[in-house]
Structure 1
Amino acid sequence: MREITKTLILAGWLVFSISWTKTSPIFPYQGLVDVSELSEGRILVRLIYSTTNNFLGEDVYGDLEKAYLVLEAAQRLVAAQNLLEQKRPGYRIVVYDAARPLSVQRKMWEKVKNTPQSIYVASPERGSLHNYGVAVDVSLVDETGQELDMGTPVDFFGELASPKYEKRFLQDGRLSQTQLSNRLLLREIMIQAGFSPIETEWWHFQMYGREEARKRYPIIP
């Protein structure tokens, strides 16, 4: 594979050279950091779009196996892991999606744009917060590595995944108290660490809204 060398300038004064192979992910050179490395391996990474076990039924990430975020978001995620360890020793956060290139967003959109699933995928023109490295999809695992039961899997597109209706789901028996408690634990540590949840997906958390993300960070090509 052809090796490419680039010179980067950070903060207007730090200059250094890096080399990488043509097929390597570009994320580290967009100013993003490896979540697993920053957490010293305490946070697990299982990218669902780097497998065929997702709603697309296709591996759209290719060689990308690591989770990247902007530094501030990665630091907040490590803070969430610290909070989790205090509350539940041995438990760990598992990341199912993090920073996503806009090129992948286009590929995902092409697959769903004329289907009912299009409401769950942001168009490339609008962009996703994952395209800025400020959003993350996560769950929790216990001390044995078993994922906690959240009532639905990650990437489940139906109202049962929505935090907005959880009280009703509990009353109707569609969510158990254990499942709801697991969701609440996840939300508690993520919110305390500085993330915001959304109403439609229990697994999705973001550091900023779209307009703020655009002001602060470049989109990942």
Structure 2
Amino acid sequence: MTTPSTARVRLTVQLLGVLAGVGVVGGCVRAPQPPPPPAPSGRPGLVVLSDVDPRIHTDIRYATAHNFVGRPVDGYPEPLCLLTDAAAAALRRVQDAALATGHSLKVYDCYRPRRAVDDFLTWAGQPGGQQMKAEFYPRVAKSDLFEQGYLGARSTHSRGSTVDLTLVDVPAPEQPGYVPGQPLVACTAPRDRRFADNSIDMGTGFDCFDPLAHVASSQVDATARRNRELLRRLMTDAGFVGYDREWWHFRYRDEPWPDTYFDLPVARSSAG
């Protein structure tokens, strides 16, 4: 039987428990729960991919003017591929498998700071600034790039375990440098007409914001389909997950920072 005085004692215990952050179950005091894990220190433990595997080619487009905004992107003071140690180790395994098929990996983008994503967002909301439209988004309006999923207000790249890449033959053909102001050709054009990237034929160029770049597009020829399938198989076998709108985009499934978006610049000083 519960007396009024007992009820008052139980209520007092419950109130004290709430104030102290202690749980009360059935009138009994429950032990305090362990504190939440500490907040990230701000350094995700990035490594420079060329230190992990110098065999992998790099063509870091956002550190140059050869990208869809037409200038170096904020946050890319150095043309480096930074990745978490886990993703870089997995990519080394992909490179081993790729070499066995007579190909090598070539990366276009790896870790991408939040400031770069913000730069894209600002660019997309401004009038003009479409000097690269003819190459990178010839059939999509600039104002539709976010809505159609080609750009996002957040990017998995900022978590350090996502990479944009392709395959090149071994030995890799020489690639001419991009000259700002040179005539542009649509990324959807046949391989022998678009920018002379030394990638094997994937049906479009890199960062081609067009349905033709969707992985399952039926509009690319059999050679491009086989090459896309090869890249996807190599990557998924090593634990990466692709993105259906971009044949070049892969995220490491077991990424160590699945909910954290970092803003360190793409520079060697950000490694470690």
TM-score (norm 2): 0.61
Unaligned runs of 5+ in 1: 1-26, 170-174
Is residue 137 of structure 2 the alignment partner of residue 113 of structure 1? no
| Structure 1 counterpart of 2:214 | 162
**Between Structure 1 and Structure 2, whose CA radius of gyration is higher?**
2
Uncovered stretches (5+) of structure 2, i.e. residues with no partner: 1-41, 127-142, 173-197, 265-272
The structure with the largest helix share of the pair is 1
Equivalent position SS for 1:179: helix
CA contact (8 A) 1:30 1:220 kept: no
| Secondary structure class of the residue paired with 1:87 | coil
Select which of 240, 253, 263 maps to 1:220: 263
> Which residue of structure 1 aligns with residue 95 of structure 2?
81
Distance 1:218 1:63, change over 3 A: closer
State the Cα distance separating 1:117 from its structure 2 match: 2.2
Displacement of 1:30 in angstroms is 4.0
1:110-149 residue CA offsets vs partner (Å, 9 max, x unmatched): 00136222332211xxx21001111100001101313101
Counterpart in the other structure of 2:80:
66
Secondary structure at the counterpart of residue 213 of structure 1: coil
Per-residue deviation, residues 155-208 of structure 1 (Å, max 9, x unmatched): 0001000013x3x32xxxxx2211111111111100101100111000000014
C-alpha RMSD of the superposition: 2.2
**Deviation sequence 1:74-107 (CA, Å, 0-9, x none):** 111111101111222xx21000000011111111
Letter in 1 for 2:80: K
The correspondence for 1:131, drawn from 130, 153, 158, is 158
Output the CA distance in 1 between the equivalents of 2:254 and 2:49.
21
**Structure 2 residue aligned with 1:49, among 47, 59, 62?**
62
Partner of residue 242 from structure 2, selected from 197, 203, 208? 197
Alignment counterpart, residue 144 of structure 1, candidates 171, 175, 185: 171
Q: Does 1:187 align with 2:232?
A: yes
> 4+ residue stretches of structure 1 with deviation over 6 A?
none
The structure that is strand-richer by fraction is 1
User: Could you say if the C-alpha distance between residues 209 and 78 of structure 1 is closer, same or farther in structure 2, counting changes exceeding 3 Å?
Assistant: closer
SS at match of 2:246: coil
Q: Could you state the TM-score of these two structures normalised by the residue count of structure 1?
A: 0.75
